[in-house]
Amino acid sequence: MTLKNTANNYGSIAKWFHWTIVALFLGSYCAVYFRHWFTEEKTPENWTALQLHLSFGITIAAVVILRIIWRNFNQTPSQEPGTKLAHIAAHIGHYALYAVMILMPLSGYIGTGVNTEFFFLFDVVKFEATSIYNTLVTNWLGLSFKEFEEPIDFFHKEIMGKWAVWILILGHAIAALYHHFVIKDRTLKKMTTG
């Protein structure tokens, strides 16, 4: 297996980015659901789960940035035969997934009112304490953190976290399995064993 993509397959680095982001999203969701389902507010367990969720989110952002850079310097494997509509749908789906991979960590960071204890190694300062926040939100928009945070939090949790992410991931997985088991092409193999 090569490090870089070829015309027929994704390379090991692109595969690593893909599956690492999958694992990080799962870790982030497990931490936040554990927090909501199994902990009481203002307990050490609740705080730990929140900090893990935030740490996973920041890690996702860093890996996604590297993934986008890597993608722009690599060829993309050729598409499998299919209709023009199917190829357009695949492109739209992938762009939507990239949007989620960018917007979820970004909205999570800017809408969080606490520092992130990054995997309990060091602190990442909260957005509210940055000069960007003061310039953009306080001075330019004239909003308090609460006024700023409420719509961001709603977007992050209610729109993206509860619905959009899951719909896109489910659609992505169904499409990959459809290609593998129904069409019987190499789409799934390109990102796994191919």
Whether 6 maps to a domain, the answer reads no
Model pTM score: 0.92
Range of the domain at 161: 12-191
Average pLDDT of the residues in 23-49: 97
- Give the three-state DSSP class for 169: helix
Whether 3 maps to a domain, the answer reads no
The yes-or-no verdict on residue 171 having pLDDT over 80 is yes
Average pLDDT of the residues in 127-137: 96
| Long-range contacts (CB closer than 8 Å, 24 or more residues apart) made by 121-125 | 124/54, 124/58
Average pLDDT of the residues in 92-99: 96
**If pLDDT is split at 50, 70 and 90, which confidence band does 131 have?**
very high
User: What is residue 127's DSSP assignment?
Assistant: G
Whether 131 maps to a domain, the answer reads yes
The rounded mean pLDDT for the chain is 95
The yes-or-no verdict on residue 194 having pLDDT over 80 is no
Whether 5 maps to a domain, the answer reads no
* Structural domains in the chain (count): 1
Q: In 3D, which of 167, 172, 170, 168 has the Cα closest to residue 187?
A: 172
Whether 145 maps to a domain, the answer reads yes
Residue 118 amino acid letter: F
